[in-house]
Amino acid sequence: MSNTIKLEVMRYRPGVDEKPWPQVFDIEWTQDMSILDALALVKDDFEPELAYRWSCRMEVCGSCGMVVNGEPKLACSTFVREYAAVGKITVGALDQFPIEKDLIVDADPFIAKLESVKPYIINKNPRALADKEYRQTPAELAKFKQYTMCINCMLCYQACPQVGLNANFLGPAATALAHRYNLDNRDTGRAGRFKVMNGENGIWPCTFVGYCSEVCPKHVDPAGAIQQAKAAAVPFWALSNLKKEEA
């Protein structure tokens, strides 16, 4: 098998290009070459202005999310060899977010969604956590531990059809994060989070397609979190409607 492959990179230069366009490179690949390595080769040898994000190279920082042959992937843990039989790799930005340059997108809308669900422990008694060690049993930790594994890579937002229809939809990772804190027995902030989750752009538009969980590299299962959150949100939704009727 030839060790040359076509790497098509979707380029976008702000102020120059109206929309992304493909630039094709023929690259020599090796068995251990990741997509991130391939982009580094392109940047070093052909196109020094190519822009993309990365940091850890080991599925920890979440910054190298891209669309590879139509699928949301982390570039550092996706390998060129996986596409050898196809003979061509197309790499593009996570275009359910505004593209800033080449493969870099504006993460601010995503960060704003995470912040909107108050992703920290809220306790009505401000001294409760400060005064003493607050121990949790393994069973209490197990309730939410899976949701702490999120690395904020945004792949689930690229996979989500509802985000495609409404960019303001709260979406998978932010809901999984809200669910994580709602399940934490040190927290008393559920009412405030459910206000956001029951809002117009909250959790209810999710139709449980489940692709968000399929693409998640950390097995967070945000689709499952949304369904559990819906069940937990109903009493808060009913209460807020009752208050509206009384007003």
Binding site for ligand SF4 (CB under 6 A): 150-156, 172-173, 176, 215-216, 218, 220, 222
Angle between helices 172-182 and 222-246 (to 10 degrees): 70
> What is the contact surface with ligand FES in residues (CB under 6 A)?
54-57, 59-64, 74, 76
Quote the least distance from Cβ 107 to ligand FES, whole Å: 14
| Closer residue to ligand SF4 in complex, CB, 39/154 | 154
Q: Whose CA is closest to 50, among 82, 89, 24?
A: 24
Quote the least distance from Cβ 64 to ligand FES, whole Å: 3
| Closer residue to ligand FES in complex, CB, 155/229 | 155
Q: How far is residue 1's CA from residue 85's CA, in Å, rounded to a whole number?
A: 9
The entry of ligand FES, ligand SF4, none that residue 152 binds, CB within 5 to 8 Å by partner kind: ligand SF4
Quote the least distance from Cβ 231 to ligand SF4, whole Å: 19
Quote the least distance from Cβ 55 to ligand FES, whole Å: 5
**Which residues lie below 8 Å from residue 7, measured CB to CB, with a gap of 6+?**
24, 25, 26, 27, 38, 42, 88, 89, 91
CA angle, residues 204, 205, 207, in degrees to nearest 5: 100
| Closer residue to ligand FES in complex, CB, 67/183 | 67
Phi-psi region of 62 (alpha: psi -120 to 50; beta: other; left: phi over 0): left
Find the helix or strand (DSSP H, E) in which 245 lies: helix 222-246
| Closer residue to ligand FES in complex, CB, 56/238 | 56
The entry of ligand FES, ligand SF4, none that residue 194 binds, CB within 5 to 8 Å by partner kind: none
Structure tokens at 224: 């499952």
Quote the least distance from Cβ 54 to ligand FES, whole Å: 4
The entry of ligand FES, ligand SF4, none that residue 156 binds, CB within 5 to 8 Å by partner kind: ligand SF4
| Closer residue to ligand SF4 in complex, CB, 11/182 | 182
The entry of ligand SF4, ligand FES, none that residue 35 binds, CB within 5 to 8 Å by partner kind: none
Alpha carbon separation from 165 to 108, 157, 158, 225, 245 (Å, rounded):
19, 11, 12, 21, 31
Q: How many residues does the chain have?
A: 247
